[in-house]
Amino acid sequence: MNRSKAIRAALVQAAAVAVLSVALAIALPHSFFVSWGWISGPLGWLACAIVTARVIALPLPPTLTGAVLAGLPSILAVVAGVHWLGALLAIVLFGLWCGRLAADRGLEAEVV
């Protein structure tokens, strides 16, 4: 496990999700998310994962695979009505995936 990459991935993903969430909340009415949240949420999550992969220099296909897998448990949180708790869990899982991916790829730990 490359802890430095895991932490950086989680922080970058969290920041990207926060920025995108605020921008969309300002730009679009609540009714959009009621009708289209089921697709805009996952697509936004994947877009943020692309940003994360580029910022911390991880290969894109396995990073996106990790984003999809990390996002699956958040479906339960959405159904339970605790959407942001699911997002937090997904960010943690995604960070762990990226840390493991970096270690598997032999990427050196960087000093933060």
Q: What is the pLDDT of residues 16-44, one digit of tens each?
A: 999 999 999 999 999 999 999 889 999 99
Domain tally for the chain?
Answer: 1
Does residue 111 belong to any structural domain of this protein?
no
Structural domain containing residue 78: 3-104
Whether 61 is in a domain gets the answer yes
CA distances to 67, 88, 111 from 40, in Å: 15, 18, 35
In a domain, 20, yes or no: yes
Per-residue pLDDT for 110 more than 70? no
Cβ atoms of 93 and 69 within 8 Å: the answer is: yes
The residue ranking higher by pLDDT, 110 or 7, is 7
Query: Is 38 within the bounds of a domain?
Result: yes
Q: Which of 11, 110, 14, 5 is nearest to 62 (CA)?
A: 5
In a domain, 27, yes or no: yes
Residue partners of 76: CB distance under 8 A and separation at least 6? 86
Distances (CA, A) of 11 to 17, 23, 76, 79, 91: 10, 18, 23, 25, 8
The whole-number pLDDT of residue 104 equals 86
Asked if the model's pLDDT at residue 108 lies above 50, the reply is yes
